[in-house]
């Protein structure tokens, strides 16, 4: 298959390119980082890039939490306008297969259970609670501390920041494209992706990258809140393999199918910091109690559907993946 990989010069996209090549496909990189003319928002350039293409793997996006709302227009432009231009060009070119880089952020706080009220959906946490070190969301009905559960693909969407909103809109745009063109659209809702070539600590980078950079400077990784917030850290090679699997699999035409893409093994951010620090040889992480507005407490998805329906299975374990990541930091890779 000849596959246009938007964002193919990025962290995840570059691994998708490698994985496609390893599977005998022909990836075509489309990324402004590599070529300033290769912007997904440019209809003429996109149309040209789609010539002879069998499928599109859409990774290009502006990522991270950003600075609140000042950069909202840039997120919407790159992520949603960019996706709309791409989809219109695909419809015109007759390209019927799309795999989209989705995200767990579309779920917001995810799934929680109250011992008395069952499954509930807590709203954003109060600043007063966060300032007082009360990090666990409380039951919106009775205020009892909640226990986090695994979020399935059918959970209601609840984007809590600009980036999350644009990632959700991408899916809706792709679903509309699929309906109109009878196209096959898959959204792989990635968990926290980490591994080689992860961007360095910019305001847009992931937490594993911040910790690794701190360790490389000889400083303790600074763990926000109480360190017990749960995430699913999935290795970038496993995410790349999921993309190849989804590109190769025929999915239902005329619809978007969403798959949570995680390791299936939730860990706390504190555990991740300790694993990296141990592999690096110290210093030990520091739990600071700081917080970022817009961060959610726990996000752990159930990735069973991707395993059951497409036969994907993550290969890189947590300890092994984190150790490799920490060592790559030392080498400056
Ligand atoms: N890293 C994660 O943990 C994570 C989690 C969930 C979802 N995602 C999604 O995965 C995808 C890839 O993210 P990443 O972590 O590799 O980020 P990245 O920043 O390394 O890669 C994104 C790439 O997209 C390119 N790009 C941005 N705007 C573009 C435009 N207008 N036209 C063409 N190219 C453009 C950038 O140059 C960059 O190379 C994104 O869609 C992101 O939302 C990432
Ligand atoms: Zn309750």
CB distance 103 to 164 below 8 Å = yes
Q: Which atom of ligand 1 is nearest to the CA of 77?
A: 31
| Mean local confidence (pLDDT), 251-273 | 95
DSSP-assigned beta bridge partners for residue 262: none
Over range 98-114, report the average pLDDT: 91
> Residues of 229-264 as b/e, b for ≥16 C-beta within 10 angstroms?
bbbbbbbbbbbbbbbbbbbebebeeeebbbbbbbbb
pLDDT, residue 205, reads 57
Average pLDDT (183-211) is 86
Q: pLDDT averaged over the chain?
A: 93
Q: What is the pLDDT of residues 113-130, one digit of tens each?
A: 999 999 998 888 889 999
In sequence order, which ranges of the chain are alpha helices (DSSP H)?
Answer: 11-22, 43-49, 72-75, 82-93, 127-131, 162-181, 207-216, 236-248, 269-280, 304-310, 318-330
**pLDDT of 133 over the 50 cut:** yes
pLDDT above 70 (res 63) = yes
Ligand (nearest to CA of 14): 1
Provide the pLDDT for residue 171: 98
Which of 102-116, 234-248, 261-275 comes out lowest in average pLDDT? 102-116
Predicted local confidence at residue 333, as pLDDT: 41
Q: What pLDDT, in 10s, does the model give residues 283-318? A: 999 999 999 887 889 988 899 999 999 999 999 999
Average pLDDT over residues 91-115: 93
List residues near ligand 1 (CB under 6 A): 6-7, 9-13, 31-33, 38-41, 59-63, 78, 82, 101, 103, 167, 190, 192-193, 199, 206
């Amino acid at each position: 298959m000849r596959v246009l990989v938007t964002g193919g010069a990025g962290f995840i996209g570059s691994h998708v390119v490698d994985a496609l090549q390893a599977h005998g496909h022909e990836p075509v990189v489309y990324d402004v980082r590599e070529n300033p003319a290769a912007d997904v928002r440019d209809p003429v350039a996109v149309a040209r890039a789609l010539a002879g293409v069998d499928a599109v793997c859409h990774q290009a996006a502006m990522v991270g939490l950003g600075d609140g709302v000042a950069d909202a227009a840039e997120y919407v432009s790159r992520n949603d306008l960019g996706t709309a231009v791409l989809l219109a060009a695909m419809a015109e070119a007759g390209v019927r297969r799309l795999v989209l880089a989705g995200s767990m952020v579309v779920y917001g706080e995810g799934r929680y259970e109250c011992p008395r009220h069952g499954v509930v959906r807590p709203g954003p946490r109060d600043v007063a609670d966060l300032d007082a070190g009360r990090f666990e969301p409380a039951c919106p009905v009775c205020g009892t501390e909640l226990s986090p559960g695994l979020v399935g693909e059918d959970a209601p969407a609840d984007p809590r920041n600009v980036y999350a909103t644009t990632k959700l809109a991408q899916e809706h745009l792709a679903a509309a494209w699929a309906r109109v063109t009878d196209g096959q659209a898959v959204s792989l809702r990635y968990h926290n992706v980490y591994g080689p070539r992860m961007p360095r600590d910019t305001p847009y980078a992931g937490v594993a990258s911040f910790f690794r950079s701190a360790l490389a400077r000889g400083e303790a990784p600074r763990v926000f809140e109480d360190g017990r917030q749960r995430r699913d850290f999935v290795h970038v090679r496993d995410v790349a393999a999921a993309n190849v699997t989804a590109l190769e699999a025929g999915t239902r035409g005329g619809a978007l199918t969403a798959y949570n893409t995680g390791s299936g093994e939730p860990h706390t951010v504190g555990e991740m910091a300790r694993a990296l620090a141990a592999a690096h040889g110290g210093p030990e992480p520091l739990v600071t109690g700081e917080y970022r507005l817009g961060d959610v407490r726990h996000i752990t998805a159930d990735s069973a559907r991707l395993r059951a329906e497409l036969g994907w299975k993550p290969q890189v374990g947590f300890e092994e993946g984190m150790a490799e990541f920490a060592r790559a930091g030392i080498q400056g890779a």
